[in-house]
C-alpha cells in the first residue's frame, strides 16, 4: 500500500470531555499536529461547568476536522459509545481530555503497522505524567511475543503490566468493533478494561508498536484514583458482564476461569487498599470489603480455584505467583483480618507501587 493510499484511511479520534479546561488545549494541539492528516476529532462534552466547551468551540471554528457534540452526562463510557456511533473513520483512537500524544508521527506508525499486519488492535507503549515528571511504564515487550491464548499474555497484558486494559494508547479497526458489536458497558469505572477484554474474547489480532504513543496524566480527580463506596458492586457487575459476554460468544467458560480470577484478586486488593487509605488505615474497614468479595458466590469460586495447588499457575513472575496463591488461599479460608494486615504491610512498604507499571514514585 502506498503512502497516499494509507492517508486515505480515516482515523476517528474520540475524546470524552468533562471540566478539562486546564489541559484540553494541549490534548487537541498534540492531535492536530499529527503528520497523519486524514482525521476526524469527535469531542463529547459531558456537561462541563468550566470553560471547556468555549475552548473547544474556538478550535472547532478553526479546524474543520473537529466536531463537538453534547453528551448524556453518564460518564466517559457512554460518551465513547456516542462517538463510536458517529465515527466515520476506518480506525478508532480514544484519548482522554487531560492527556496528550508525545509523538507527532504516532498515527502514521499506527496505520503502517495496522495495514502491514492486518491487526484489529495496534498497541503502543505509554508513559505516565506524575508531578511534572514523565515516568515510562513497563513496556509490553514482556508479553507481546507470547501466544495470545497463553496465561502469560493475559496476566501481563491485563494485570501486572496492564497495557491491554486501557482504551487509550491504541488504534482499533472500526470494522472489528462493529462486526462484534463491542461497546462500553454502563459501569462507574473500569469500563475500558471490560471493553478490551471483550475484544480479546472475540479473538482480536494484536500488533505491538515499541514507540511511546501516549502520555497519561495522573489526575487525582479521576474516578480511577478516587474512593468509591460502590466499588465492590461495580467490579462484580463487570465480572458478570464479562461472564455473559463469554457465553454470548459461545466460548468455553473454562478457558477464561483464570482471567476472571485474576480480575477479582486485583479488584479485591485495590478496594482493600482504598478502604485502608480512606478510613484512616482501619484494618476493620479493609476486612469488611474483603468479606464482600469472599462472600460472593463468584468470588468464592474464583478464589478457591486459584488457591488449588494442583493447578499450576502458568505465569513466570515468581513474586506474583506467591502473592496470588497466598491471597487466594486467605480469601478461600476467610482469613479476612489476616489478609487486611497483609494489605497494610504491602501498602506501608509500597510494594504495590514497586509492582505497578511505573515502579515506586517519589512523593
- Measured distance CA(203)–CA(322) in Å, rounded: 30
- Measured distance CA(282)–CA(21) in Å, rounded: 37
The set of cell numbers assigned to 64 is 474543520
| Residue 165 CA: distances (Å) to CA of 66, 201, 337 | 27, 13, 30
pTM summary value: 0.95
Q: What is the DSSP string of 154-206?
A: HHIIIIIS-GGG-SBSEEEEHHHHHHTT------SS-HHHHHHHHHHHTTPPE
**Ranges of each domain in the chain:** 3-223, 227-354
- Each residue's pLDDT expressed in tens, for the chain with a length of 363 residues: 555 555 689 999 999 999 999 999 999 999 999 999 999 999 999 999 999 999 999 999 999 999 999 988 788 999 999 999 999 999 999 999 999 999 999 999 999 999 999 999 999 999 999 888 998 888 999 899 999 999 999 999 999 999 999 999 999 999 999 999 999 999 999 999 999 999 999 999 999 999 999 999 976 555 556 788 899 999 999 999 999 999 999 999 999 999 999 999 999 999 999 999 999 899 999 999 999 999 999 999 999 999 998 888 889 989 899 999 999 999 999 999 999 999 999 999 988 777 766 555 555
Give the list of residues 6+ apart from residue 262 with CB closer than 8 angstroms, or none: 154, 155, 158, 159, 306, 324
What number of CA atoms fall less than 13 Å from residue 170's CA on the CB side? 25
158 and 190 Cβ atoms separated by less than 8 Å: no
Q: Which CATH number fits domain 3-223: 3.90.180.10, 3.90.550.10, 3.90.660.10, 3.40.50.150?
A: 3.90.550.10
Residues in the chain: 363
Amino acid at each position: 500500500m502506498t503512502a497516499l493510499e494509507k492517508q486515505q484511511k480515516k482515523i476517528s479520534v474520540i475524546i470524552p470531555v468533562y471540566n478539562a479546561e486546564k489541559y484540553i488545549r494541549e490534548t487537541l494541539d498534540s492531535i492536530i499536529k499529527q503528520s497523519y492528516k486524514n482525521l476526524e476529532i469527535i469531542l463529547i462534552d459531558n456537561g462541563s461547568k468550566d470553560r471547556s466547551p468555549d475552548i473547544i468551540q474556538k478550535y472547532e471554528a478553526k479546524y474543520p476536522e473537529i466536531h463537538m457534540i453534547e453528551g448524556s452526562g453518564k460518564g466517559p463510557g457512554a460518551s465513547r459509545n456516542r462517538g463510536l456511533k458517529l465515527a466515520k473513520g476506518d480506525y478508532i483512537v480514544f484519548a482522554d481530555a487531560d492527556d496528550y500524544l508525545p509523538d507527532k508521527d504516532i498515527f502514521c506508525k499506527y496505520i503502517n503497522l495496522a495495514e502491514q499486519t492486518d491487526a484489529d488492535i495496534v498497541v503502543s507503549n505509554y508513559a505516565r505524567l506524575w508531578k511534572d515528571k514523565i515516568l515510562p511504564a513497563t513496556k509490553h515487550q514482556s508479553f507481546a511475543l507470547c501466544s495470545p491464548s497463553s496465561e502469560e499474555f493475559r496476566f501481563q497484558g491485563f494485570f501486572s503490566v496492564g497495557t491491554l486494559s486501557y482504551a487509550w494508547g491504541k488504534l482499533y479497526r472500526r470494522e472489528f468493533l462493529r462486526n462484534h458489536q463491542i461497546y462500553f458497558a454502563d459501569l462507574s469505572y473500569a469500563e475500558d478494561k471490560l471493553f478490551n477484554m471483550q475484544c480479546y474474547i472475540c479473538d482480536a489480532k494484536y500488533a505491538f508498536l515499541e514507540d511511546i504513543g501516549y502520555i497519561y496524566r495522573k489526575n487525582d480527580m479521576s474516578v480511577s484514583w478516587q474512593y468509591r463506596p460502590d466499588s465492590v458492586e461495580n467490579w462484580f457487575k463487570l465480572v458478570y458482564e464479562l461472564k455473559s459476554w463469554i457465553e454470548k460468544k459461545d466460548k468455553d467458560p473454562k478457558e477464561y476461569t483464570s482471567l476472571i480470577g485474576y480480575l477479582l484478586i486485583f479488584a479485591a486488593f485495590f478496594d482493600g487498599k482504598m478502604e485502608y487509605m480512606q478510613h484512616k488505615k482501619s484494618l476493620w474497614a479493609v476486612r469488611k470489603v474483603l468479606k464482600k468479595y469472599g462472600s460472593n458466590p463468584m468470588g468464592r469460586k474464583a478464589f478457591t480455584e486459584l488457591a488449588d495447588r494442583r493447578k499450576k499457575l502458568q505465569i513466570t513472575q515468581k513474586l506474583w505467583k506467591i502473592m496470588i496463591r497466598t491471597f487466594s488461599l486467605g480469601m478461600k479460608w476467610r482469613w479476612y483480618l489476616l489478609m487486611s494486615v497483609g494489605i497494610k504491610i504491602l501498602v506501608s512498604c509500597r510494594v504495590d507501587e514497586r509492582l505497578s507499571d511505573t515502579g515506586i514514585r517519589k512523593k
